[in-house]
Amino acid sequence: MQATDRVSEYFSGRASDYQARSTRFPWAWIRSRELTAVASLLCDIAGLEVLELGAGAGFYTRELTRRGARQVWAVDISSAMLAALPAGCITPVLGDAATIRLDRRFSVLLSTGMLEFVEDPAAVLANAAHHAEAGARFVILAPQASIPGQLYRRFHRSHGIDIRLFDRNWFATFAARSGWQVRAIAPVAPFSLVVRLQRV
């Protein structure tokens, strides 16, 4: 089985209660810390259309609509995850974040907890750039290369999935190659990085 298929199968099997698990310890504590950092770098999105890559069951999709996004284009590789999204100003899009093509550009893009699972994270940055207006901001939440990050990696290895970990150098290198500038990086305990890129 290809890595992409394995990831899709894993998350599809957990889609029905994935959102509910996000509200329980320890994930609720982790998500709360990450959300604060993501919101800080995301800035004001009221009235804007947002492209969300790796929407999952909609934890951040709900936050985007709560913060006033006019429309959220929610991309995910799992149809079961998309089925768990809430109703409202949300357009579910089944597809791979590295290859999906939408006939529009966005001023705000978001990816939370997805980049570590894809086969080619650099391709995701490049495809995001294809969908970004000049000056657009792209906020990414990803696990960092650290001891707690390694523990998070072991957790997923126990389910047969090998994830990637990231550091500042990775983003500095691959963002520049795909038309982005790193504008801010914020570490979030216990194991995450929140990064804001800007389209050049």
Count of structural domains, the chain: 1
pLDDT score of 16: 65
pLDDT score of 1: 36
**pLDDT grade, residue 3 (50/70/90)?**
low
CATH number at residue 96: 3.40.50.150
Domain range enclosing 34: 3-199
pLDDT in tens, 68-105: 999 999 999 999 999 999 999 999 999 999 999 999 99
In this structure, the number of other CB atoms found within 10 A of the CB of residue 72 comes to 28
pLDDT score of 4: 74
pLDDT in tens, 8-66: 776 677 766 666 666 777 778 899 999 999 999 999 999 999 999 999 999 999 999 99
pLDDT in tens, 166-183: 999 999 999 999 999 999
CA distance 100 to 123: 11
